[in-house]
Structure 1
């Protein structure tokens, strides 16, 4: 069987439904090859494959074999933290159980989803989402909520948040982007200096007005076990040709998960679809509720 093989019913892997592991590997190839301005021919020489084979990797017609990951890392000059993750998942076929990893590892997957997926949802119960935080908010409430933060860790986190925001705002294909914020996030904001409050609220308002974006606030109590999570759905393939499988990203202080298990996804889908209609548009919430706090 060749590396550009097809599965037994005649459909290629992309048509059959791609695993999150294989999508991550091939999109990292696409991302860094494009970023470095390299041709598929140049990459093929470095990994001792044909140009057609590299094209097959990028189009999900053939999985990337573990044996070429080291060569790919070198020719694409992939950053070491990304390279470490690629080395871990290199031998995986895509049908393994969900991978538990530290926050940085799975955050790489999150950022890739934000770059390519057609429908994005994030629930943030107590802090505003990283991509929607001002510098002052990051240095204030976000730092106070962190566990033993160092200056280096905080600065790295800030850079990552800015990159996420730049990616989302800069997307010209206008994906559907929904943020659901818990009211406790605004309660904690009310404890900060007035200047920080207004700056952060204005920042949220500016993003809420972007095409395809919607920010809402959940004022009712929520199950406290439902921590921050994000749902990523492909959207129409003709509009978003490079999307991966539908996944959910969850985060805990010591670990994070990205999974595409249908039963687990259904749990999160059920919760968000139940809560979204009962939430309040951010503009309405700011006008009707928040102005009393700023009075």
Structure 2
């Protein structure tokens, strides 16, 4: 059984979204996995969580490959210390974040050096991100872009209106303009289009930022009845962290509020001032 609220939410939403994607009913999944329909309905409703020994079969019936099934098994079998290891796994965290973008009601993303993935143009991904990932091969880059496209499509398919706040360090824009003026203009136009979407706000943060505060996200329930517990997400050199401790999330929220007030709305940001930032 999943021993954390985050783990339990991940399991039930993976089951639900996978089943919807393959076009199966709850009854079909239950029959194939030899559980009652009421039992399976309880899994998706969050009233109970499947045992790890049944998870692989459930995952495969919902259309997941061996890698995805393995993460679902680990989440179902986690204890506190095992969850700590799982929450530091970058691939698992990417799967969790993709689900969070699909279901959470309030989402904040900050990156001081790069444009957040959801806002990137394809040209930015293959040029700027590739420069930032010198060891990445073509397969890695293609897989990364496919994953971003899937996340964007899921957000655009949402019937509700989640609140998105994107905070971008001006350094990311300066670096982009140095690489390609044409791509810079295209990307800026793309950011301004995103900012016109209902519920979306984008701000640019000028000035230096401490390294430990330069890249994090926060996900709150908001008005979404399908969201999981509040989480924060951050990255370091060799790992990433999915944080569900309320006290730590509150500290991230305090930093968010301070940085957000210091930033400039994308609608009034004067991109011709970039050269003065170098002085």
TM normalised by structure 1 equals 0.87
Cα-to-partner distance string for 1:44-75 (whole Å, 9 max, x where unaligned) = 11222111111111111112211211111221
Instruction: Answer yes or no: is 1:64 the counterpart of 2:61.
Output: no
Find the counterpart in structure 1 of residue 198 from structure 2. Answer: 211
Specify every segment of 5 or more residues in structure 2 that has no aligned partner in the other structure, as ranges: none
Shift of 1:290: 5.1
Shift of 1:111: 0.3
1:122 match: secondary structure: strand
2:269 match: secondary structure: helix
Find the counterpart in structure 2 of residue 285 from structure 1. Answer: 269
Whose helix proportion is higher, 1 or 2?
2
Cα-to-partner distance string for 1:202-249 (whole Å, 9 max, x where unaligned) = 11111011000000011132212223211100112xxx2211000011
> CA–CA distance in 2 between the matches of 1:100 and 1:244?
15
Instruction: Answer yes or no: is 1:21 the counterpart of 2:33.
Output: no
Find the counterpart in structure 2 of residue 37 from structure 1. Answer: 23
Contact 2:221 2:227 in 1 (8 A): yes
Superposed CA RMSD: 2.2
Instruction: Answer yes or no: is 1:155 the counterpart of 2:142.
Output: yes
Shift of 1:125: 0.8
Contact 2:234 2:242 in 1 (8 A): yes
Contact 2:233 2:242 in 1 (8 A): yes
Cα-to-partner distance string for 1:250-286 (whole Å, 9 max, x where unaligned) = 1223211112012221221110011111211012114
> CA–CA distance in 2 between the matches of 1:147 and 1:261?
34
> CA–CA distance in 1 between the matches of 2:190 and 2:80?
39
1:95 to 1:27, Cα distance in 2 relative to 1, 3 A: farther
> CA–CA distance in 1 between the matches of 2:245 and 2:82?
11
> CA–CA distance in 1 between the matches of 2:208 and 2:76?
42
Shift of 1:94: 6.6
| 1:34-183 superposed matches below 5 A | 34-92=20-78, 98=84, 99-183=86-170
Contact 2:203 2:263 in 1 (8 A): yes
1:147 to 1:80, Cα distance in 2 relative to 1, 3 A: farther
Contact 2:205 2:259 in 1 (8 A): yes
Between the two proteins, the alignment pairs up a number of residues equal to 275
> CA–CA distance in 1 between the matches of 2:263 and 2:35?
52
Q: 2:256 aligns with which of 272, 282, 287?
A: 272
1:257 match: secondary structure: strand
Instruction: Answer yes or no: is 1:226 the counterpart of 2:210.
Output: no
Contact 1:227 1:251 in 2 (8 A): no
> CA–CA distance in 1 between the matches of 2:236 and 2:127?
20
Find the counterpart in structure 2 of residue 191 from structure 1. Answer: 178
254-263 vs 284-293, which moves further: 284-293
